Structure 1
Amino acid sequence: MASPEELISYFDEARFISSLRARSKAGILKELAACMADDPDIRHPDVLLEAMEAREKLGSTGIGKEVAIPHSRTLSVPNLKAVIARSKKGVDWGAADKKPVKLFFLVVAPPQDRSNSYLPLLGALVSAMQKKKGRDQLIAAKDFAEAASILEEAFRG
């Protein structure tokens, strides 16, 4: 199992969106892809967006409790990368509990990653976001450093 330190290492200050501007699922996906496009390792951000949209068509990545974890595997990334993003007002994401989503965690990995290293991160995010206190703290965090610290603590359980 991946350590909290390893899990948090997939996030980066450059891939932190403190306040999403978009108010729709399509707009959020574009904003998340644009955030990843700023990373020099990302190839073909348009392909990344297409992969994210295709995954979302399979079923909502809204896990409930105001959290969504859009994810995909694409050749656009050389290794596992993740984004933390927030929408203070929330966005309709089609989550099972019908609540608007305020916290987004984009997780992308290359298809050639045979170890499926993204699965422990997905599982850890789902577990970490079960506690309301942690979710509320992430929404209120003043910057990436504080958000990363809160998330790392949540990964510890």
Structure 2
Amino acid sequence: MELEELLDEDIVELDLKATTKGEVLRELSKLLLAHGYIDDVEGFVSDIYAREAEGITGMGDHIAIPHGISSHAKRIGIAIGRASSMIEWESYDDEPVTLIFLFCIHGAENSGTYTTKLQAEAELARRLGSVGVIDKLQHVGSKEELIDVLTK
């Protein structure tokens, strides 16, 4: 599955209201629930925190890529949120984040969907590493533009 297939404007929020990590995860999870990606917000968020306990998901450059590998996930996708203020998050550069890419994965580690997640993460990281992409994502004016920046 290609990265483009995991991007859905319905699960993108360019104006997150959240001001904490927990609020961000719940706000994005509510989007996932509203669009049929998960069946339970609190169960899904609990599974995200279980994964967070295994390692840092703040990648640096004000980006976090948390993972929701969960029995509460019904479809694979990536919820994307952008905050107008910095959100405290454990990160490799000890900086807060403003862009969050929340992977929603059903199944278990070493399953086919987990392999898809790894491939999509690698592709996302490659694209985020392209010159100017992060700055463009911080300033896009629409969900369509955000997805276009990530897919071109």
What TM-score, normalized by structure 1, do the two folds share?
0.87
Could you tell me which residue of structure 1 aligns to residue 42 of structure 2?
Answer: 46
Aligned AA for 2:141? K
Matched position secondary structure for 1:117:
helix
Q: CA deviation at 1:143?
A: 1.0
Could you tell me which residue of structure 2 aligns to residue 144 of structure 1?
Answer: 143
Q: CA deviation at 1:132?
A: 5.4
Aligned AA for 1:10? L
Could you tell me which residue of structure 2 aligns to residue 80 of structure 1?
Answer: 76
Distance across 2 between alignment mates of 1:12 and 1:139: 18
Conserved? CA contact 2:28–2:79, under 8 Å: yes
Return the match for 2:59 from 60, 63, 68. Answer: 63
Could you tell me which residue of structure 2 aligns to residue 114 of structure 1?
Answer: 111
| Inter-CA distance 17–125: structure 2 relative to 1 (3 Å threshold) | same
Conserved? CA contact 2:38–2:75, under 8 Å: no
Aligned AA for 1:13? E
Q: CA deviation at 1:142?
A: 0.9
Distance across 2 between alignment mates of 1:100 and 1:132: 21
Distance across 1 between alignment mates of 2:16 and 2:37: 23
Give the % identical residues: 25
What TM-score, normalized by structure 2, do the two folds share?
0.89
Distance across 2 between alignment mates of 1:132 and 1:60: 24
Conserved? CA contact 1:85–1:103, under 8 Å: yes
Distance across 1 between alignment mates of 2:36 and 2:68: 19
Matched position secondary structure for 2:120:
helix
Return the match for 1:92 from 75, 82, 88. Answer: 88
Distance across 2 between alignment mates of 1:10 and 1:59: 23
When the two structures are aligned, how many residues end up with a matched partner?
149
Distance across 1 between alignment mates of 2:19 and 2:130: 25
Identify unmatched segments of 5+ residues in structure 2: none
1:36 pairs with 2:40: no
